[in-house]
Copies of this chain bind each other. A is one copy, B any other.
Amino acid sequence: MRNVAIIGVGMTKFGERWELGLRELMAEAGAKAVSDAGIEGKDIEAIYGGIMSAGRLIGQEHVGALIADFMGLTPIPSTRVEAACASGGLALREAYIAVAGGAYDIVVAGGAEKMTDVFTEQAAVTLGGAADQEREVFHGATFPSLYALIARRHMHEYGTTEAQMASVAVKNHANAAKNPLAQYQHEITIEDVMRSPKVAEPLKLFDCSPITDGAAAVVLASEDVARKFCDAPVWINASAQASDTLAVFDRRDMTTLNASVVAGRKAFEQAKLSLRDVQVAELHDCFTIAEICAVEDLGFVKKGEGGPAMERGDFALGSKLSANTSGGLKGCGHPVGATGIKQAVEVVWQLRGEAGRRQVPAEVGLTHNVGGSGATAIVHILSREVR
């Protein structure tokens, strides 16, 4: 398969974007990425879009064609993919497979979600569609309650504390405060998290990522084309995807997201890199406990040591591994389908040295995008070098 580079990136401001619909958000992100790549619309051969629940949130399916239509790019192929909160990562992966395999030379991969057109309760019910409807949600489980189960078990097995979880939110807000596109550009304290209203014990409001509108897009190109259009391509050294049971109760160990373990291992194998080579990682912190599981599942710390590591600030901005420099899902916001693409946008900015006040020295970056409570995980490794 051919080498594939990201030659352009773009994203909208994340937040409550009352003034824009899904199509406008997608078009803004797409236009920014295309402009950043220095290409024109006619150069684009196909589109992959990750959108989780436009059907339930705005009554609109068939969003692939909608993107091509609204951006004036018909009749090119435009494909929607969905893997709940990993929809964006999946769009990146499918676009990568298509370009690496030779189906296309230049492809736009995007992700978007318009979540604030419905009441928060309805958005929460919709997000439940990422879990097992018949075996979890029907019986009353919500997404926070499923991650609360994971958190409780993690506390029980490893002594993880609520303050340790809170430290994830504090770190990510600190990073988001430096990101002009983040939903929450302010810092918070451990106390703020601990005092925030309980959502599903032990998770409190500030342990949870928010409801967000937004979109992000990247332009992928095969090696020949990338070198022609771009002085500073960022290469996709690895793309890996894995699945797990949809229901949390079906797993041998509730504190391990096996899809993350498998996807992470495969990605490092493909990239021929080790954990130590990575300086920036966008990790899937839909809840604070999820980022603790992520650093364990990917191998950055030993099992059970994620909580203390977070409390020590091991993954703070400028440390050996800066995690969620964008602010993560918690601080930057979580427009579901957009998140996996936004992670790639942030890592590209870091690798290019364009991350502004949150810039860290980085040669290799990783994105980790999880669907639901871990039934899908998608890991990409990006760097400035072909490997």
Do A75 and B243 touch (CB < 8 A)?
yes
Does A308 sit at the interface, judged by CB under 8 A? no
Chain B residue nearest to A61 in the complex (CB):
B129
**Supplied contacts A55-B55, A60-B134, A74-B259, 8 more A-B pairs, CB within 8 Å:** A56-B56, A62-B84, A62-B372, A65-B243, A74-B243, A79-B241, A98-B101, A100-B103
State how many residues of chain A have any CB contact under 8 Å with chain B: 62
Do A83 and B64 touch (CB < 8 A)?
yes
Please give, as numbers and ranges, the residues of chain B lying within 8 Å of A97 by CB-CB distance: 97-98, 101, 103
Contact with B along A108-140 (1 / 0, CB 8 A): 000000000000000000101111111001000
Nearest first, the 4 A-B pairs at minimum CB distance are A101-B101, A65-B375, A61-B129, A77-B241
Which residues from 231 to 268 on chain A have a C-beta closer than 8 Å to any C-beta of chain B? Answer: 241-247, 250, 258-259, 262
Please give, as numbers and ranges, the residues of chain B lying within 8 Å of A259 by CB-CB distance: 74-75
Do A79 and B83 touch (CB < 8 A)?
yes
* Copy count, this protein chain: 2
Taking A55-B55, A75-B258, A80-B82 as contacts, is the C-beta distance between A65 and B101 under 8 angstroms? no
Which residues from 358 to 387 on chain A have a C-beta closer than 8 Å to any C-beta of chain B? Answer: 371-372, 375-376
Please give, as numbers and ranges, the residues of chain B lying within 8 Å of A243 by CB-CB distance: 64-65, 68-69, 73-78
Do B76 and A371 touch (CB < 8 A)?
no
Bound Cα distance from A1 to B104, whole angstroms? 11
Do A55 and B56 touch (CB < 8 A)?
yes
Please give, as numbers and ranges, the residues of chain B lying within 8 Å of A102 by CB-CB distance: 1, 100-101
Q: Which of A55, A68, A75, A134 has the most CB of B within 10 A?
A: A75
Partner of A69, one of B23, B74, B126, B244: B244
Does A94 sit at the interface, judged by CB under 8 A? yes
Taking A75-B243, A83-B80, A241-B77 as contacts, is the C-beta distance between A62 and B101 under 8 angstroms? no
- Smallest CB separation, A208 vs chain B (Å): 19
Contact with B along A57-73 (1 / 0, CB 8 A): 01111111110110001
Does A293 sit at the interface, judged by CB under 8 A? no
Does A21 sit at the interface, judged by CB under 8 A? yes
Does A53 sit at the interface, judged by CB under 8 A? yes
The 9 listed contacts between A and B (C-beta, < 8 Å) are: A23-B134, A55-B56, A60-B129, A62-B131, A74-B243, A75-B262, A94-B94, A100-B102, A101-B103
The prevalent SS among residues of A at the interface is: mixed
Do A79 and B94 touch (CB < 8 A)?
yes
Please give, as numbers and ranges, the residues of chain B lying within 8 Å of A132 by CB-CB distance: 60, 66
Chain B residue nearest to A131 in the complex (CB):
B62
Do B65 and A371 touch (CB < 8 A)?
yes
Please give, as numbers and ranges, the residues of chain B lying within 8 Å of A246 by CB-CB distance: 62, 65-66, 69
Does A81 sit at the interface, judged by CB under 8 A? yes
Do B371 and A62 touch (CB < 8 A)?
yes
Does A52 sit at the interface, judged by CB under 8 A? yes
Bound Cα distance from A78 to B376, whole angstroms? 8
Chain B residue nearest to A98 in the complex (CB):
B97
Do A55 and B375 touch (CB < 8 A)?
no
Do B241 and A59 touch (CB < 8 A)?
no
Partner of A61, one of B23, B52, B65, B244: B52
Bound Cα distance from A132 to B21, whole angstroms? 13
- Smallest CB separation, A376 vs chain B (Å): 5
- Smallest CB separation, A303 vs chain B (Å): 18
Please give, as numbers and ranges, the residues of chain B lying within 8 Å of A75 by CB-CB distance: 242-244, 258-259, 262
Does A90 sit at the interface, judged by CB under 8 A? yes
